[in-house]
Amino acid sequence: MRYISTRGQAPALNFEDVLLAGLATDGGLYVPENLPRFTQEEIASWAGLPYHELAFRVMRPFVTGSIPDADFKKILEETYGVFAHNAVAPLRQLNGNEWVLELFHGPTLAFKDFALQLLGRLLDYVLEKRGERVVIVGATSGDTGSAAIEGCKRCENVDIFILHPHNRVSEVQRRQMTTIFGENIHNIAIEGNFDDCQEMVKASFADQGFLKGTRLVAVNSINWARIMAQIVYYFHAALQLGGPARSVSFSVPTGNFGDIFAGYLARNMGLPINQLIVATNRNDILHRFMSGNQYVKETLHATLSPSMDIMVSSNFERLLFDLHGRNGAAIAGLMDSFKQGGGFSVEQERWTEARKLFDSLAVDDAQTCETIAEVFQQTGEVLDPHTAIGVKAARECRRSLDIPMVILGTAHPVKFPDAVEKAGVGKALELPAHLSDLFERDERCTVLPNDLKAVQSFVSQHGNRGKPL
């Protein structure tokens, strides 16, 4: 499998190189040159497979030529073996034909473990083979950081630096990062917001001199391997609900557009998906595009669903690339005008094409709390605020009651006690056993100003298992 850049100017890469690449050299994102397509019979034959075996079948075409089957199978069995639920991603029924796909049974209690547990193992495998070391610099609005640190903490050849916005992640989220110690683990709190953190990561990829020749790897959802891993659970959910003979719809709590883009790919690979709902919080750039063809940056609002607090959605570029007939020059132009003027619209027929599959809703904090309370009254289930936004959007935007609606349950409610408390469900939430002493553990973290040079010099001073590069 070969991968090409959405901006058309960077060289095509194989899987191994795309795993290590992050952003393409032309500023674009890598996508598969040709998407594999499965027949309905093939997909149907996967019903009942354990999660890791389904994962092998769905992802195999993407890694062919880079990882032998036997090794890939072993990696996947280990990856999904760490999840606390035997079904890995169980479905829970909320209402008639309405389901939550629980993606929060991994080590850090959010869906990001599906991709980052795999990414850490894939990196270790590839780096060991090559005899190389890398540095990861990643930005997090909360959940990516802990999932990346958990995924990489045992990697021999990786030093990981995670930037989070100082005082803007929940205490559980912060502690899930800062209480994991290792000479290769570095937590940095930036005096700024998530987009500041993300910009620093992007700038570091653009100019890597501070790394003195060490390779920089991305763990943000711009990394193709993360998207790839997330395709699997769309198949997993649909197969349990009568797919592929029957089509299924999904409502996806969305920030950077990575998770829902994986659903879009699952559909293009042959899985019958009727509708994909982009569920956003008040940071609604994607909802404004889907509802009014305006992709315009606005100010950032802090919400009760901080993992979706973004101003721009980096993976949206991957969808735009397809909507523009995979014309890299057109995407480079759009992104340029976005950077300069702060916004764009696409031609009407391209937007109409997107709207055949996608619907959207922006949900504010008050509605989020109302939904948590409503679902608790209906079912006794406590939803986390991100999942609640998915439920609200599913209920508002649903096209057909006959088609099963699956809401991606992106996090465990215990990670976001503020929202749950505000919703007044009055049910004490307990940390799962492996995290029960989280609030007693020591923390390790460095606070740095919102300044690229300060961050880069910190990385070069500590990038070799705590020593200078």
Rule CB under 6 A: say whether 221 interacts with ligand PLP: yes
CB of 69 to ligand PLP, least distance (A): 28
Integer Cα distance of 308 and 299 in angstroms: 14
Site string for ligand PLP, 135-154 (x = CB under 6 A): --------x-----------
Nearer to ligand PLP by Cβ, of 150 and 259: the residue is 259
**Angle between helix 316-323 and helix 348-357 axes, rounded to 10 deg:** 120
C-alpha closest to that of 139 among 120, 166, 113: 166
Q: Which of 75, 101, 172, 308 binds ligand PLP (CB under 6 A)?
A: 308
Cβ neighbour number for residue 458 with a 10 Å cutoff: 16
Cβ neighbour number for residue 441 with a 10 Å cutoff: 14
Three-class DSSP category at 316: helix
Stretches 14-22, 63-71, 192-200, 257-265: which one binds ligand PLP (CB under 6 A)?
Answer: 257-265
Give the number of residues in contact with ligand PLP, rule: CB under 6 A: 16
Can 73 be counted among the known catalytic residues? no
Integer Cα distance of 48 and 53 in angstroms: 10
Integer Cα distance of 145 and 139 in angstroms: 7
Q: Which one of 112, 153, 415, 427 is the catalytic residue?
A: 112
Three-class DSSP category at 242: coil
Integer Cα distance of 75 and 69 in angstroms: 10
Q: Which of 410, 413, 425, 455 binds ligand PLP (CB under 6 A)?
A: 410
Integer Cα distance of 398 and 5 in angstroms: 34
Rule CB under 6 A: say whether 110 interacts with ligand PLP: yes
Which residues in 385-404 contact ligand PLP (CB under 6 A)?
386
C-alpha closest to that of 316 among 31, 18, 11: 31
Integer Cα distance of 245 and 257 in angstroms: 27
Q: Which of 112, 166, 267, 324 binds ligand PLP (CB under 6 A)?
A: 112
Q: List the 358-362 sheet strands across, edge first.
A: 91-95, 98-102, 405-409, 248-253, 273-280, 358-362
Structure-block tokens of residue 370 = 């109302």
Q: Which of 150, 159, 195, 259 binds ligand PLP (CB under 6 A)?
A: 259
Q: Which of 253, 263, 328, 413 binds ligand PLP (CB under 6 A)?
A: 253
Nearer to ligand PLP by Cβ, of 138 and 255: the residue is 255
Stretches 56-64, 254-262, 324-332, 343-351: which one binds ligand PLP (CB under 6 A)?
Answer: 254-262
CB of 386 to ligand PLP, least distance (A): 4
Site string for ligand PLP, 79-108 (x = CB under 6 A): ------------------------------
Rule CB under 6 A: say whether 256 interacts with ligand PLP: yes
CB 97 within 8 A of CB 405: yes
CB of 53 to ligand PLP, least distance (A): 25
Nearer to ligand PLP by Cβ, of 98 and 309: the residue is 309
Task: Tell me which DSSP letter residue 103 carries.
Answer: -
Residue carrying structure tokens 């300069």? 340
Stretches 79-87, 129-137, 232-240, 249-257: which one binds ligand PLP (CB under 6 A)?
Answer: 249-257
Q: Site residues (CB under 6 A) for ligand PLP?
A: 110, 112, 143, 221, 253-259, 307-308, 386, 410-411
Catalytic residues: 112
